[in-house]
Amino acid sequence: MKKFKLVQSLILIILTLAFTSCSSDDDNGPVPPTVRDIPLTISKGFTETLGQDINAFDVDVSLASSGITYNTTTDEFEGTGTILILDFHSSTSTLAEGTYTYEDYTETRGPLKFDGDVESTDGESFSIEAGTVTVSAVGQETKIEYDLILDSDTAAQSNDAITKGSFQGELVVIQ
């Protein structure tokens, strides 16, 4: 009987050791990259209608921080800060209200699609790779709410990032 209990105990110990490992032996796989939250401080907006593509109108909207201005002589943005550039495909020749979903630019994409970038004068830039933008009218102002996944264009920053926020105000027409 003692021999049977000893064999049972040995089997139990062997099984316990077989299914137990040290934490240094665990293979947890690669650690997922950290997703950075990129806050954008937006204080002004600009819009430009670029004409009609095959299935929709091409309307650009640039949302900028307070240190950015638009130079009408050079037709370029200048200053220090950040610009969120959104290239919308609208169902009308102006920016139509609705929820736009991200899709890489093609001339044949339909309305309520967008793509874009985030550019900063500190040297960091991002391409939008997913997300939604909701456009609505609030009196004479335009409200733009965005929830975006960004992909860093900067070699030093290889992790994806997110940004979420809104702008409400006049969109200044630029040509």
Which tens digit of pLDDT belongs to each residue from 22-72?
A: 555 444 444 344 557 777 899 999 999 888 888 888 899 999 999 999 999
Higher pLDDT among residues 142 and 111, named by residue = 142
| Helix, strand, or coil (residue 71) | strand
Q: Which pLDDT score is estimated for 22?
A: 52
More confident: 104 or 172: 172
Separation between Cα atoms, residue 49 and residue 89, nearest integer Å: 10
Residue 20 pLDDT: 52
HSE-CB for 141 with a 13 A CA cutoff: 9
* Positive or negative torsion for Cα 136, 137, 138, 144: positive
Q: What is the pLDDT of residue 156?
A: 56
At residue 9, the 3 state secondary structure works out as: helix
